Amino acid sequence: MFVEVLQNVLNPSSLLLILTGVVLGNIFGAIPGLNTPIAIALVLPITMIMDPVPSVCILMGIYMGGVSGGLISAVLLKIPGTAAAVATVFDGYPMAERGEGTRALTIGAFASFFGGIFSSVMLLILAPLLSKIALTFGPWEYFGASILALSLVTVLAKGNMIKGCISLGIGLLACCVGQSPIDGVAYRYSFGSMYLRNGFALVAVVIGVFALPEIINNAARLKEIPVVNKVEKKFFHMLDFQSIKKNIRTLLRSSVIGTVIGILPGLGGGPAALVSYAAAKKASKTPEEFGKGCEEGVFASETANNATTGGALIPLLSLSVPGDTATAVMMGALVVQGIALGPKLSIDQPVLFRTIILAVFVANIFMFLYQASTLGLMAKILQVPKMYLMPYIAVFCITGIFCLNSNAFDLYYTMGFLVLGYILDKNGYPIAPLILGMILGKNVEENLRRAIVYYESFGKCVFRMSVGTVLFAIAVAVPVVVLVKEARRIQKEKMTRR
């Protein structure tokens, strides 16, 4: 089995696909307005015609490369390429202002590599253990895990919780279109249309509600050509051993923080980087230097946001619960491939399971080698006007959707989701709950119906002592606690004003 795993990943075609994914992810992560989920959504139609192993290789490459790519524009332009790189701006840009942009990028590249490798090791250790625990799960336990993931995403997504619930509700409603699960009797919300009997294609929804609105949002800034700080021309940018030794505690602390936060659904690299940055500042002997070009701040931010990658894959592979938006889109791609994610993946398909983990390791190595050798080239990519990039991306998206089923109807409802996504985004409604609702909605409904059939009623499900009941209770309690805290905060502010 071990030899077969090595053959799957270390053959020339797989390595080339991983490298291609890393390059594509880095470019999308580096250019403000683009991000990792858009890059994954762009290649979704392509992965549908691939075998599972090549598909996994390119997806893991994009995921690892995309999260790390945001540091380039964060350091050189003071514009984080992704939400995960927000904290990198605090010290990365001041370093670039005083002529240490190359140093900041080198630190960021190594920190990204360290965090990614650390979380990959945790993925190797924790995912099989969590899968073994999950094997004891029944439909009620799976329902509890899925509903908890949706609850956390709603609470922790940007914007207020009510808007998050509305966005989640839209996603769950969209998931209900088509043939009903379990019995397969009714065609729900199809309005007599044969095209809606199978529901909405996940790829079309993701591109419509996420990728295309981002392109429109950037249309107003097409003529912006960023002024990039000069980057030292060098064949390979490697951090010296003394700097690594000096910041090893920050690297380890930030890796742990990033991995733990990555496991929690709905958080991702942005919150992980901010929490890690705050922890590094608190532990530092010179906290007053943070925000003025402190190297430790760049170490903390970039280590944590890349450590979330392996962390987010742990619940995805072991529980079939995506940890962030990127893994949610990736889950759709893997499901289309026929890969049954969850606890049985490591038992029924052990070779594929270990192939995914090895692909993550290799992708992190390629990501570091690529960034360390092309920092100057990546800086020049930022100078390409968006007026040349956006039309090509839009054409690829539309072409990919049409190729799904070779009919124009997919394009019609994609345009509908485009309008919906644009309206939601402009009014402060988070998109992540909608996407996760669309992806997890089927699991929630199927497992709830199976649990009710098995235990005879919903009440009997709730009042039996099990892990599922605990997870369901937490899912209900978390929004209530957040609402109570928010009400107290508002009340306190009113009292202060008086």
Per residue in 33-47, pLDDT (tens digit) is 567 777 887 787 788
Flag the least confident range among 151-160, 245-254, 371-380. 151-160
For the cut 60, the answer to whether the pLDDT of residue 228 exceeds it is no
Burial of 402 (0-12, 13-18, 19+ CB in 10 A): middle
Confidence of residue 269 (pLDDT cuts 50, 70, 90): low
> Which of 38, 44, 338, 408 is closest to 212 using CA atoms?
38
For the cut 80, the answer to whether the pLDDT of residue 267 exceeds it is no
Per the model's pLDDT, the better-predicted residue between 270 and 477 turns out to be: 477
For the cut 70, the answer to whether the pLDDT of residue 149 exceeds it is yes
Quick one: average pLDDT of 325-340?
Answer: 76
For the cut 70, the answer to whether the pLDDT of residue 221 exceeds it is no
Mean pLDDT, rounded, of the chain:
79
For the cut 60, the answer to whether the pLDDT of residue 32 exceeds it is yes
For the cut 60, the answer to whether the pLDDT of residue 67 exceeds it is yes
pTM of full prediction above 0.95: no
For the cut 60, the answer to whether the pLDDT of residue 158 exceeds it is no
Task: Pick from 221-235, 281-295, 323-337 the range whose average pLDDT is largest.
Answer: 281-295
pLDDT recorded at residue 38: 77
d(CA 383, CA 74): 14
Confidence of residue 216 (pLDDT cuts 50, 70, 90): confident
Task: Pick from 164-173, 181-190, 379-388 the range whose average pLDDT is largest.
Answer: 164-173
DSSP output for 181-241: TTT---EET-TT-GGGTT---HHHHHIIIIIHHHHHHHHTTTT----PPP----S-----H
Quick one: average pLDDT of 476-488?
Answer: 82
Buried-state track 167-199, b at ≥16 Cβ within 10 A, e below 16 = bbebbbebbebbeeeeeeeebeebeeeeebeeb
For the cut 60, the answer to whether the pLDDT of residue 227 exceeds it is no
pLDDT recorded at residue 226: 53
pLDDT tens by residue, 106-143: 888 888 889 989 988 888 888 777 777 766 777 888 78
Flag the least confident range among 53-57, 180-184, 423-427. 180-184
Angle, alpha carbons 76-82-88 (nearest 5°): 50
Task: Pick from 46-55, 76-85, 268-277, 360-369 the range whose average pLDDT is largest.
Answer: 360-369
Confidence of residue 163 (pLDDT cuts 50, 70, 90): confident
pLDDT recorded at residue 16: 92
pLDDT tens by residue, 354-378: 888 888 889 999 988 888 888 767 6
pLDDT recorded at residue 429: 84
Quick one: average pLDDT of 449-466?
Answer: 84
pLDDT recorded at residue 193: 80
